[in-house]
Amino acid sequence: MSGLADTTLQLNSGARIPQVGLGVWQTPSGAATRQAVAAALDAGYRHVDTARIYGNEADVGAAVREGAVARAELFVTTKLWNADQGYDPARRAFDASLARLGLDYVDLYLIHWPVAGKRLESWRALERIHADGRARSIGVSNFLVPHLEELLGAAKQVPAVNQIELTPFLQRRDTRALCDRHGIVIEAYSPLTRGQRLNHPVVADVARRVGRSGAQVLLRWGVQHRLVELPKSTRPARIAENGALFDFALDDRAMNELDGLEEGLVTGWDPAEQA
Ligand SMILES: NC(=O)c1ccc[n+]([C@@H]2O[C@H](COP(=O)([O-])OP(=O)(O)OC[C@H]3O[C@@H](n4cnc5c(N)ncnc54)[C@H](OP(=O)(O)O)[C@@H]3O)[C@@H](O)[C@H]2O)c1
């Protein structure tokens, strides 16, 4: 039976990406991050999503290097922060991230945010990093339709993924349609609405019907839409719960009810405001 460790999506780079990854934004550096990653590996996760700005790359790298799972079976993502955008700064920032991680390569390197006037030069740096084999796949984050159209008009390489906030309450249908047309996989960040809609009556009703938690219902909705889901928790029991998504399914009625929850809920920064 396929499960957390072997449920993957195909990327345009040729690599495959595990469909559920542990997010570590706001997970404190040090033992908290190392323990969260270790708990995730124990639970069967094979994918961790960090970033320069999260301040915990070194701990993610330590947990990956010291864990029992072979590097080749793991998928590690980090991201280029805004202050480091531009061609030369991006290449230096990547070197520094890789050094902090203590790895020979990352599976995915993302432009964290579409910084105006810099993002195309940053993308050129990522293309170079990919060509050098040090990032197996490259992509973007927080790129909506105007940012993607600009990039696709200039890029040699189509991004493998676009990581955006995505839940039943914020569905970004136009961005998803454009990404589908170009074979760009969508990664859903803040997939638990940062806790804000876990007890929404529709979510709670679906959860009751399938005998699962509200968190699992939100994540399973994304899995069935062929999104990569990136839930964050520091608690081992919740990390396991958030990965237990492949032994149940939502029926058409439940999917339709969840699809009907769009309300434009942005819990973080809204890239629609970025020119
Ligand atoms: N690219 C970007 O700009 C960007 C932006 C935001 C996030 N992200 C990525 O997406 C990841 C996840 O997003 P997020 O951290 O914003 O939010 P999230 O995963 O939607 O929600 C995390 C919150 O939910 C709680 N939680 C986790 N599992 C739970 C469960 N089963 N039941 C109840 N509560 C639960 C967590 O608390 P505990 O930790 O106490 O369990 C935490 O407060 C990040 O860690 C990061 O990797 C990327």
Q: How far is the CA of 241 from the centre of ligand 1 (A)?
A: 13
Mean pLDDT for 100-125 is 98
**φ, ψ at 95 (rounded to 5°):** -55, -45
Mean pLDDT for 3-23 is 96
Ligand 1 atom 16 nearest Cα: 190
Amino acid present at 142: N
pLDDT band (50, 70, 90) for residue 17: very high
The response to whether residue 35 sits with its C-beta less than 6 Å from ligand 1 reads no
**Residue positions counted in the chain:** 275
Ligand 1 pocket test, candidate residues 22, 189, 199, 216, most atoms within 8 A of CB = 189
The response to whether residue 33 sits with its C-beta less than 6 Å from ligand 1 reads no
* C-beta of residue 256 within 8 angstroms of C-beta of residue 98: no
Mean pLDDT for 232-244 is 98
Does the pLDDT at position 30 exceed 50? yes
Average pLDDT taken over every residue of the chain: 97
* C-beta of residue 185 within 8 angstroms of C-beta of residue 8: no
The pLDDT of residue 2 is 60
pLDDT band (50, 70, 90) for residue 1: very low
